[in-house]
A and B are shown apart, each in its own frame.
Chain A
Amino acid sequence: MKRAIAIVICTLLTACSTETTPRNTGVYMLLDTSGTYNEELIKAEQITRFTLSRLDASDSFAVARIDTGSFSERDIIAKASFDDRPSAVNRQKRLFAEQVSDFVENAKPAPYTDITGGLLQAVEFLNEKGTGTKTILIFSDLKEDLEQGYVRDIEVPLDGFEVIALNVTKLRSDNIDPREYLGRLEEWQGRVERTGGSWRVINDLDGLEGLL
């Protein structure tokens, strides 16, 4: 009997003390606000809401804009690490959706597009949160346009990250020479996969079921 009690206690203690890997999800969404792509932001709001509906307690979510210099906390529009309690999670989600909505209504087009800086910021944010799965959503045409003086030819450490490009629209020049568009996609895929990340492109926004 004593032995049985000891075994049960040891099992419980082991179960309680074992360091389990985190099972929560971290999502960082980058919104391209440059030039004409600014008009696409209304779609980004829908994606944000969809993502919010998929996230649960203790998950983390942040939405940031891509502008001239995106490697900055100031570019984060809304961020939240959801509470443990379901009621608090609902409140946080409503507030988050409101913040994104406000941003979309008042967004101004940015002159330059610093996607790499945004990616670096996303990696930093998600690593800091230490979530189990790390997903970066890039809502952009993936055409990077840096201001003079900005250095971005660096490797972004994306090991363990899933990068999903959303609504990668074709530019006028892409229509003239599709190789440009394909080359752009290929280049980003190469950059992500070279550093250990996985890459996906979703252009059909009606089929977001497999997003998260």
Chain B
Amino acid sequence: MSFMLGITPWPVASALLWIILITAALYLIRSTAHKTIQAAAQGLHRSFRMASKAVSRSETNLAARNRDVLLAAGREAKERIIEREFDRINETVRKDLANYSGLHRSLSESIGRIEKDHQEAVDVPPDPPGWVKAVKAVADMDARDGRAHIGSILGDIHKSLIKAHKEAMAAYHDASAKRHKLLRQMRPDWRKIQQTLGAVGKNVDSLLSRSVTIDRHMQEYEDIVRGQDRAMSVLSSSSLVNFFVSAFVLCIAIGGATINFSLIARPMAEMVGGTSLIGDFRTADIAALVIILVEISMGLFLMESLRITRLFPVIGALPDKTRVRMIYITFTILFLLATVEAGLAYMREVLLQDELATSALLRGDAAAAVTATGEFMWITTAAQMGMGFILPFALVFVAIPLETFVHSLRTVLGLIAISFLRVVALSLRVLANVFLYLGVLLKQIYDLPLFVPLWIEERLSVGARLAGDQNLKGARP
């Protein structure tokens, strides 16, 4: 500093001299400096723009890929739903409508019986009474004949009339009773027909409702096949929901597996030793973990063999006979492991009681040593054994949320990656613009200390322009 201020005897003069020299130098290289700044800014701007475009392209490709994956998953899921609906229809038709001919025959028989009974139940008019003819004969007699026995005849007729009336009434009552009986016999047939027709109607209604459902699913399937945006957004949101729900259920399953682990880890020390280690982990703990993992694997295979999940296409594609064998094998292994776990849970309780008794004895608490193996201990023992047996079967169902989780994870990871790439692309674009405007700003800042020579240059150029204009005017005739 002292050197710089010491080039003349007066520091102020030295400083001024330096300022003039530096300003002059900066002015002389101004054009080159501006070009350099511009080139650097442009270079950085273009680089970041290119990077941003590359990231955007990756994002687009990933989005397309994600879309394809989502559509494929949606298509597959929809196919499964439609397939299941058709299976249900097939089952309904097979079960209820396959015996339609029998149903028809039953209906025809019932109707035939009703017709027959109806014919028989027609109201038969009573026979004309026999006294009508007698009355006619009496009426034809000439009263003037003076036949004296006419009164007795009329008396007989009266008697006959009463008798015939009684008989006719009895016959009528008999016929009516018979008709009522026939009509009563018709009631079950009517009821049967009503029930049969009701069942048929119910089946038909069920089929109709299923057909409506299938129509809806088919419409959605077509939307997916066409790749419509609405289908995409529905699939995307459904995938997110599936992801969170399945993650929640998996967390619960992990809790169950942890309890299962604590049930068998302690007694496992009786089998493999309590102090041997593999790496930094106790062999007993690893063995317990392996048992639980094997159970989960068996559960997965069982679910695959039952075609409830489709994580392993190889198992799904097996011939039915092999698949059924696999169901039996996996279930047997699972059952055996569950039994082993129940035994280990029992052993755990025994060990615990033994340990409590020993601890009490070592504490010198003889009473506690006796009560440690109390009479109600069987309740906890039974509960632990029950849990040890049930939990492996409960863990089988982990396969369902696991499949959903795996499938939805693909989509969710894709969405996260897309969002990340979008943010990166945006940041790169912003950076590119920042560098562009930074170049402009740097050029302005460079010009700030050169305001004096620039002002002189401007004045000179204005003066030169004016002189040129005057020369032009003077040169004109």
Q: Which residues of A line the B interface, CB within 8 A? A: 15-16, 20, 23-24, 46, 49-50, 52-53, 56-58, 84-87, 89-90, 93-94, 97
Contacts and interface: CB of A to CB of B under 8 A. Distances in A.
Contacts, number: 54
Nearest to B354: A90
10 contacts: A15-B279, A49-B362, A49-B363, A56-B274, A85-B269, A86-B269, A86-B354, A87-B354, A90-B358, A94-B361
A87 B354 CA distance: 7
A84 B358 contact: no
Interface string B254-291: 00000000000010011001111111000000000000
B273 A85 contact: yes
A84 to B, nearest CB: 4
Contact of A86 (B266, B357, B359, B361): B266
Contacts of A15: 278-279
Interface in B268-318: 269-270, 273-279
A58 B275 contact: yes
B364 interface: yes
Given A53-B363, A86-B354, A89-B274, 15 more contacts: A15-B278, A15-B279, A24-B275, A49-B363, A50-B362, A53-B362, A56-B274, A57-B273, A58-B274, A84-B275, A84-B276, A85-B269, A86-B266, A93-B358, A93-B362
B72 interface: no
Q: Is the interface of B mostly helix, strand, loop or mixed?
A: helix
Given A16-B278, A84-B276, A87-B351, A53 B269 contact: no
A80 B278 CA distance: 26
Contacts of A49: 362-364
Contacts of A53: 359, 362-363
Contacts of A97: 361-362
Contacts of B361: 94, 97
Contacts of A16: 278
B355 interface: yes
A90 B66 CA distance: 60
B361 to A, nearest CB: 6
Nearest to A45: B364
B270 A87 contact: yes
A46 B364 contact: yes
Contacts of B359: 53
